[in-house]
Amino acid sequence: MKELKKLNKYFVKYKYSFILGIIITIASQIFSVFTPTFVGDIISALYDFYKSTVSAESVRELIIKNVLLILGTTLIAGFFTFLMRQTLIVMSRHIEFDLKNEIYKQYQNLSQSFYKKNKTGDLMSRISEDVGKVRQYVGPAVMYSVNTAIRMTVVIIQMYITSPELTFYALLPVPILAYVMMRLSKEINNRSFQYQQNLSRLSSFSQEIFSGVRVIKAYALENEKDKEYEKITTESKNIFMRLASANAMIGPLMVLIIGVSNLLVIYIGAKLFINGTITEIGIIAQFILYINMLTWPIASLGWVSTMIQEADSSQKRINEFLDEKPEIVNNNSEETPIKGKIEFKNVAFIYEDTNIQALKNVSFTLEKGKTLAILGKTGSGKSTVLNLIARLYDSTSGEIFIDDVNIKKLNLNNLRNETAMVPQDAFLFSDSIKNNIKFGNENATDEEVIHFAKMADVHKNIEKFEKKHDTVLGERGLTLSGGQKQRVSIARALIKNPNILLLDDCLSAVDTETEETILNNLEKLTKDKTTIIVTHRVSSAKNADMIIILEDGEIIEQGSHSELINQNGYYKDLYSKQLSEKDIA
């Protein structure tokens, strides 16, 4: 229950619904507790008539009156039960909505490293399945607990007023019923947990198979995968069978225990009636109805306790994420306009999860509006430089300055708004091409979308699609080629019109001719913008104001194209190799 305390703030927020729900529950229980008394009165009157102590007329009158009363109180109790669900269950839906939003906001705040550490499936299941389990607590579990507590109080008081002795015997099997139900629910809970685990294994397996279907077919692995799938589904079936047999025991057990209670009431009730402790025979019928009224709420105790346990462990998983502190925080709420000068001073960076030192002692200054090209072997730390400028991570040591201000002192929103990064592996949403481009600037007009698509040299391709810029991409839509994706991603960055443009090897999948066109367009567009191009091609780097060569996280060469081809180093080697491959125009 410790973890569920975090939800108390929501009960406070919805206190009026909660209190109203409790009042309505009390009202509904008070109205339903009268039915057994009315039934008991009818039976007693019939017995009196049988003994000829009352007239047929007065019995008839009493029966009609009591039947109408039963009808009336049951209708009112039913109406209050409806209102109880309307208030308490609706309250739980509001709490579910708030909780989902709280988790989603927290996800947005958390840093890159959080997403590295946690699998997408896990993030999804905490916001959907775990929140669902927690809702079972704030909704049905709370409602049934309140309902059970009030019903037991009201019914037991009424039973005690009617006959204290019979109350004692009638309630004797109740603790046994409660115990058996608790044990059974625990068993069902264990089995359903195993079933859920198996189910999520099955869905992760299927998800991977569907996404990797091309590789599976290419390697002719269908049969092997079929067998693996069958193994998991067979396990799933077996666990479900065990779960179903535990569930099947609930009904007969309840019937057995209710039967024992009823027999006790009839047997002891009859004895008490014979010895005169009970004066009216109707009380026996009344007690049988009380027992039936108590059975379901007591049986639900086990179910409710399972719901609470499950919600507690789900809330624990949710709290783990809610309590996580974002590594990158905005330290400045004042506006800090970003112009674009970038300076690295002895910057080192270690990726915490892998302990890989990606950058060592990196220093350079890039004036506003200038272009820097970063080259180097794969894994040399090029993308890491861009990640640090966009403040997706903070440097482990050394300092980064933007416009001569330490990057950590800048308003993070201003920095991110003035920075556009085109990542290595372009990610496009399952939406229209137009909306994917407008992701960089929601307010952009259709003309601007077309203009920047032209600048990224992708407009011609888009025009060939039947629905042009309205073509939907993704799972249910069209698949773009690697080069087309990269160019849509470039258009998205350009439309943002940022002062700092970070291009991470984003021309790798386009041919040299298209690369040339895009670079020419970029030159015009980024005249006053600070641009960093990470690349493996000399053709993309040669016109930059400054070129840096990284190796194992360190700068090994730095200068302009003409300076670097005069040194016998990595750049010159690369230049000669790519020249001989006729890669350079």
Ligand X SMILES: Nc1ncnc2c1ncn2[C@@H]1O[C@H](COP(=O)(O)OP(=O)(O)OP(=O)(O)O)[C@@H](O)[C@H]1O
Q: Are 545 and 529 in contact (CB under 8 A)?
A: no
Rounded to a whole number of angstroms, the minimum distance from the CB of residue 242 to ligand X is 42
Total Cβ atoms within 10 A of residue 291: 22
Binding site for ligand X (CB under 6 A): 116, 351, 353-354, 356, 358, 376, 378-384, 424, 505
Q: Which two tokens stand for residue 233?
A: 């589904």
Distance CA 19, CA 32 (A): 20
Q: Is 403 left (phi over 0), alpha (psi -120 to 50) or beta?
A: left
Rounded to a whole number of angstroms, the minimum distance from the CB of residue 413 to ligand X is 23
Rounded to a whole number of angstroms, the minimum distance from the CB of residue 548 to ligand X is 11
Rounded to a whole number of angstroms, the minimum distance from the CB of residue 509 to ligand X is 13
Q: CB nearer to ligand X: give 336 or 508.
A: 508
Q: Is 427 left (phi over 0), alpha (psi -120 to 50) or beta?
A: beta
Rounded to a whole number of angstroms, the minimum distance from the CB of residue 296 to ligand X is 54
Q: CB nearer to ligand X: give 461 or 578.
A: 578
Q: CB nearer to ligand X: give 264 or 358.
A: 358
Distance CA 581, CA 258 (A): 88
Q: CB nearer to ligand X: give 159 or 541.
A: 541
The residue among 77, 63, 88 whose CA lies nearest residue 33 is 77
The residue among 504, 202, 499 whose CA lies nearest residue 370 is 499
| Strands 356-366 and 371-376, sheet pairing | unpaired
Total Cβ atoms within 10 A of residue 518: 22
Rounded to a whole number of angstroms, the minimum distance from the CB of residue 358 to ligand X is 4
Q: Are 285 and 43 in contact (CB under 8 A)?
A: yes
Distance CA 8, CA 156 (A): 30
Rounded to a whole number of angstroms, the minimum distance from the CB of residue 199 to ligand X is 31
Rounded to a whole number of angstroms, the minimum distance from the CB of residue 449 to ligand X is 29
Place of tokens 């109408």: 68
| Strands 546-551 and 554-559, sheet pairing | antiparallel
Q: CB nearer to ligand X: give 388 or 488.
A: 388
Question: How many residues does the structure list for the chain?
Answer: 585
Q: Which two tokens stand for residue 287?
A: 């007690």
Rounded to a whole number of angstroms, the minimum distance from the CB of residue 107 to ligand X is 18
Q: CB nearer to ligand X: give 355 or 562.
A: 355
Q: CB nearer to ligand X: give 424 or 435.
A: 424
Q: CB nearer to ligand X: give 86 or 424.
A: 424
Distance CA 177, CA 157 (A): 20
Backbone angles phi, psi at 20, to 5 degrees: -60, -40
Q: Are 270 and 153 in contact (CB under 8 A)?
A: no
Q: CB nearer to ligand X: give 307 or 549.
A: 549
Rounded to a whole number of angstroms, the minimum distance from the CB of residue 559 to ligand X is 19
Total Cβ atoms within 10 A of residue 123: 16
Q: CB nearer to ligand X: give 177 or 500.
A: 500
Q: How far is CA 512 from CA 456, 518, 539, 544, in A?
A: 14, 10, 8, 17
Q: CB nearer to ligand X: give 264 or 362.
A: 362
Query: What one-character DSSP code corresponds to residue 342?
Result: E
Q: CB nearer to ligand X: give 186 or 377.
A: 377
The contacts of residue 557 (CB under 8 Å, 6+ apart) are 547, 548, 549, 564, 567, 569, 570, 571
Rounded to a whole number of angstroms, the minimum distance from the CB of residue 181 to ligand X is 50
Total Cβ atoms within 10 A of residue 581: 8
Rounded to a whole number of angstroms, the minimum distance from the CB of residue 78 to ligand X is 59
Q: Are 508 and 486 in contact (CB under 8 A)?
A: yes
Place of tokens 């030159």: 523
